Chain A
Amino acid sequence: MKTSMHLFPIIELGSLRFDLSTVIAIVVTTIICMVLGVLATRKLSVANPTKMQNFMEWALEFMHSTVASTMPLEKAKKFVTFGLTLIMFIFVSNLLGLPFGIVFDAHEEVKLGNLVIISQELLDSKGGHAHVAFWKSPTADISVTAGLALLVFFVIHILGLTTNTKHYIKHYFQPFWIMFPLNIIETIAKPVTLALRLYANIFAGEVLISTILMLNWVGVPLLAVWQGFSIFVGAIQAFLFTVLTMVYIAQATVHEEHDH
């Protein structure tokens, strides 16, 4: 039962630890997103659009209406491409860990040139041999989702400070100045929950896949059902991350004219 969690190949450069499977998966995600973008915009035409162009236009329309539901229309245009980038990247990376996995058995130390990937002490603590996974969804790693959340955090606060300074600073002390600590906690909780929500959903899905795989042939229909549900969850989580980003941006940048 205890062997369901794979080891991940972590290399240490200096004092930073890089997870090789995450790096590989992020590169693959980026390549897929770029290929999708290029394929959708080849032979652009108004009268005779290709299927990919139709699909991308639908996605753009959907994103525009989503952003417009959170902030007034003139401001919405600026954030549509940002939202589309976020939702494409997160959706593609959520789907990446579903079709297959690459797992090696390690009986001795694994090295890449001179870098030690799986050290002998780690192998000994697992009883002599371990399974090393070289492929997973990048968003199943807290560092990727925390990076996305940090990016969004900077976008929100820098935009709020530069375009809406007075109202942005005032909102920390509203409705009563005594609520300043609560507002600070809210400001910290927003990116933390963004990161943890995405990480926990995708990570739990992957652990359940590897648990179902332990049932061998009995688990095949269950695996099919669970993978279908995981596609749905991946889409919902990508949409949710983007919508919440747009809501937070709207909260920080829109100058509200009504009284509190």
Chain B
Amino acid sequence: MELLAAAIVIGLGAIGAGFGNGMIVSKTVEGIARQPEAKSALQTTMFIGVGIVEVVPIIGVVLGFLIFFGQ
């Protein structure tokens, strides 16, 4: 049962992180294509955005590890 719980936590977290990061990076690429001079500012903001979006999925991964290895 714990294996299932760990798998669900990590899987759903991965879906959320994938969708969120995909949206962020796609908008950044659009912005760079529109205005190449702003590339470094856009890139910095993208990394900050990715860091903020990935917090909860990464916490989910740690919980998954704790469930999986803590039996």
Contact = CB atoms under 8 A, between A and B. Distances in A.
Interface string A130-145: 0000000000000000
Q: Is the interface of A mostly helix, strand, loop or mixed?
A: helix
Interface in B16-32: none
A4 interface: yes
A196 B55 contact: yes
B58 A204 contact: yes
A197 B47 contact: no
A236 B59 contact: no
Interface residues of A, number: 20
Given A200-B59, A200-B62, A243 B48 contact: yes
A197 B51 contact: yes
B47 A240 contact: yes
Contacts of B41: 69
23 contacts: A2-B69, A2-B71, A4-B69, A5-B69, A5-B70, A69-B44, A197-B54, A197-B58, A200-B58, A200-B59, A200-B61, A201-B58, A203-B65, A204-B58, A204-B61, A207-B65, A207-B69, A236-B47, A236-B50, A236-B51, A237-B51, A239-B47, A244-B48
Interface of B: 41, 44, 47-48, 50-51, 54-55, 58-59, 61-62, 65, 69-71
